[in-house]
Amino acid sequence: MKFSPVLLTIGLVLCLFSCADTEQETASETPSRPNILFIMSDDHAYQAISAYMDHLIQTPNIDRIAKEGMLFSNACVTNSICAPSRAVILTGKHSHLNGKIDNRSPFDTTQVTFPQIFQDAGYQTAMYGKLHFGNNPKGVDDFMILPGQGNYINPRFITAEGDTTIEGYVTDIITDLTIDWLDKKRDPNKPFFMAYLHKAPHRPWWPRPDKFKEFTKKTFPEPASLFDDYSNRGTAAKTAEMNLLYHMQYPHDSKIRPETLEAMGEVKPEVPGFAGGFNGPYGRTNDAQRAQYDPVLDSINQFFQENWPGMTDEEKMKWKYQRYMQDYLGCISSVDDNVGRVLDYLEESGLAENTIVVYTSDQGFYLGEHGWFDKRFIYDESFKTPLMVKWPGVIEAGSTNNEMVQNLDFAPTFLEAAGIDVPTDMQGESLMPLLKGENDSWDRDAVYYHYYEYPAVHMVKRHYGVVTKEYKLAHFYYDVDEWELYDRMKDPQEMNNVYDDPEYADVVAELKDKLAELRVKYKDSAELDQKFIDQYNK
């Protein structure tokens, strides 16, 4: 039998195609290592993410991550304050081991942080936005970070080549830098780890002018515990200085101009609530920005001047709460828009398919619950933090996980996801089983918490504690020696300390054992508590 040259050619072409197909299949069976986009905002409360709760704001873009991936309903931090949280994330170790116990103490830069391990494993790494400590992050090929807390308006950035100031609004700028890196500086031959770190919605909550205008027209529902009197709680809740009425500053936080106060005869920095601070962010505006902020500021100030003198304390509290929410949520609206821009970029560039996207905050935040702003406490709104992760093909879209996970677990998770060995001295657990829906292999029943920064701004006393899904036991120490127990099922708002209730005697005994066990497991101790007090008071 003879084959015509035409048939032979067709046969050869078909064979070539099928050979190519086989190669492609092999490649897709062993997918290349995933990229990781780690998005973290500063002080973003889960109460202000509509994937969790939608009574305050809609965040459709952040919610996309949950819709296409997994929402963690019980994610928490180990120490609810900014720089320590970041140090825990970077090292995979509790504060007492990584040494960055509070915002003041130095971070020991000789420690291994996980981006260094990614870099050594052949990942391209980058960091844009707020880090809060150090000016030369280790393990990142490219970075532009805000010095310290950074500024909302026309922010300055630290870069490897020196400082630079960029005109505009910080949330937009950090996003522009991130997208520009992905688009122009990314090496297509390497997987990447990118940390995209927002300053917003950190105090003093300066929204972009258009959001400022939009959000000052809105009214928000008040939390049930706005007028909490802290009865049935310990000394720490009563002495904390983060109450909206007493400790939130009219100029710095509610945006009352010094000139308004002068006209009212209220310029008394020594009077609680009237310290300066307005001109910090406002003073950075250029003429065009000022012209956009001014009409909104004028109307706030006019209302204040006309109405504040006749207001009762209750009315002042309510007014301050609305002003707070308008600004805080206005900042979040920009974060949401910008997260949307980055997600769109990942889709359009084809990167989304092999990129793990994580959204979290460095801790939670009080949005008027217990009458508070700020964080620090082991109580839920501060202790819990948003966490959602999407990973196409691995995480089931629209899934929810209720296990108790911590920011301590991030580094081991990212390393395992990238197929890199997790250093044995990291204290977190990889969340990979949970991400794959294998909850049965997860056996954590309690987490450990320890807060140190006291005496300091907001005056939240030092405390450590243990939290299970059902209970929370905390020990406040240093200038008090008090225990608190909350029944999380019966009292989710944590209004009643039941530590002395005889009905809970067994629970207390059990949790004290658990706490002691965790202190040993994580290598924390009374000696270390004392060492950090001595170091702080030096």
Residue ranges in contact with Ca ion by CB under 5 A: 42-43, 82, 362
CB burial string 69-99: b at 16+ within 10 A, e below: bbbbbbbbbbbbbbbbbbbbbbbbbbbbbbb
Question: How far is Cα 346 from Cα 349, in angstroms, rounded to an integer?
Answer: 5
Q: Which of 202, 247, 255, 462 binds ligand SGN (CB under 6 A)?
A: 202
Q: Does 103 contact ligand SGN by CB under 6 A?
A: yes
CB of 369 to Ca ion, least distance (A): 17
Q: Does 94 contact ligand SGN by CB under 6 A?
A: no
242 vs 422, beta carbon nearer ligand SGN: 242
CB of 369 to ligand SGN, least distance (A): 16
Torsion angle, CA of 163/164/165/169, rounded to 10 degrees?
-100
Residue 209's alpha-carbon distances to 24, 288, 302, in angstroms, are 51, 11, 18
CB of 214 to ligand SGN, least distance (A): 23
In one-letter notation, the amino acid at residue 30 is T
69 vs 281, beta carbon nearer ligand SGN: 281
Question: How far is Cα 316 from Cα 322, in angstroms, rounded to an integer?
Answer: 10
82 vs 508, beta carbon nearer Ca ion: 82
Binding range to ligand SGN, per CB under 6 A, among 180-188, 200-208, 218-226, 444-452: 200-208
Q: Which of 15, 16, 457, 516 binds ligand SGN (CB under 6 A)?
A: 457
Residue 116's alpha-carbon distances to 40, 110, 126, 375, in angstroms, are 19, 11, 11, 30
Question: How far is Cα 77 from Cα 43, in angstroms, rounded to an integer?
Answer: 12
Q: Does 81 contact ligand SGN by CB under 6 A?
A: yes
Nearest C-alpha neighbor of 52 from the set 343, 386, 288, 280: 386
> Considering CB distances under 5 to 8 angstroms, the limit depending on partner class, which of Ca ion, ligand SGN, none binds residue 191?
none
Binding range to ligand SGN, per CB under 6 A, among 11-19, 88-96, 198-206, 504-512: 198-206
> Considering CB distances under 5 to 8 angstroms, the limit depending on partner class, which of ligand SGN, Ca ion, none binds residue 529?
none
Q: What's the per-residue H, E or C state across 374-428?
A: CCCCCCHHHHECCEEEECCCCCCCCEEECCCEEHHHHHHHHHHHCCCCCCCCCCC
CB of 98 to ligand SGN, least distance (A): 16
200 vs 473, beta carbon nearer Ca ion: 200
Q: Does 82 contact ligand SGN by CB under 6 A?
A: yes
Q: Does 327 contact ligand SGN by CB under 6 A?
A: no
Phi and psi at 377, nearest 5°, equal -75, 160
**466: which 2 tokens?**
């243990």
Question: How far is Cα 81 from Cα 382, in angstroms, rounded to an integer?
Answer: 9
CB of 394 to ligand SGN, least distance (A): 32
339 vs 418, beta carbon nearer Ca ion: 339
Residue 511's alpha-carbon distances to 105, 430, 485, 486, in angstroms, are 30, 25, 9, 11
Site pattern 398..437 for ligand SGN (x: CB under 6 A): ----------------------------------------
CB of 456 to ligand SGN, least distance (A): 8
Nearest C-alpha neighbor of 238 from the set 246, 227, 230: 230
Q: Which of 96, 198, 318, 458 binds ligand SGN (CB under 6 A)?
A: 458
Give 173-180's long-range contacts (Cβ < 8 A, gap of 24+). 174/128, 174/129, 174/130, 174/198, 174/199, 174/338, 175/338, 175/341, 175/342, 177/128, 177/129, 177/144, 178/128, 178/129, 178/342, 179/341, 179/342, 179/345
Site pattern 295..324 for ligand SGN (x: CB under 6 A): ------------------------------
82 vs 297, beta carbon nearer ligand SGN: 82
77 vs 297, beta carbon nearer ligand SGN: 77
CB of 363 to Ca ion, least distance (A): 6
Spatial neighbors of 422 by CB under 8 A, at least 6 apart, are: 92, 411, 412, 415, 416, 430
> Reduced to 3 states, what is the DSSP secondary structure of residue 192?
strand
> Considering CB distances under 5 to 8 angstroms, the limit depending on partner class, which of ligand SGN, Ca ion, none binds residue 374?
ligand SGN
Q: How many positions of this chain bind ligand SGN (CB under 6 A)?
A: 14
35 vs 285, beta carbon nearer ligand SGN: 285
Q: Which of 150, 204, 368, 412 binds ligand SGN (CB under 6 A)?
A: 204
Question: How far is Cα 159 from Cα 145, in angstroms, rounded to an integer?
Answer: 7
**291: which 2 tokens?**
């012209």
Spatial neighbors of 413 by CB under 8 A, at least 6 apart, are: 428, 430, 431, 432, 435
82 vs 226, beta carbon nearer Ca ion: 82
Q: Does 292 contact ligand SGN by CB under 6 A?
A: no
Footprint of ligand SGN on 140-159 (CB under 6 A) = 149
> Considering CB distances under 5 to 8 angstroms, the limit depending on partner class, which of Ca ion, ligand SGN, none binds residue 203?
ligand SGN
Footprint of ligand SGN on 339-398 (CB under 6 A) = 374
Question: How far is Cα 85 from Cα 361, in angstroms, rounded to an integer?
Answer: 9
CB of 418 to ligand SGN, least distance (A): 28
The residues binding ligand SGN (CB under 6 A) are 42-43, 81-82, 103, 132, 149, 202-204, 252, 374, 457-458
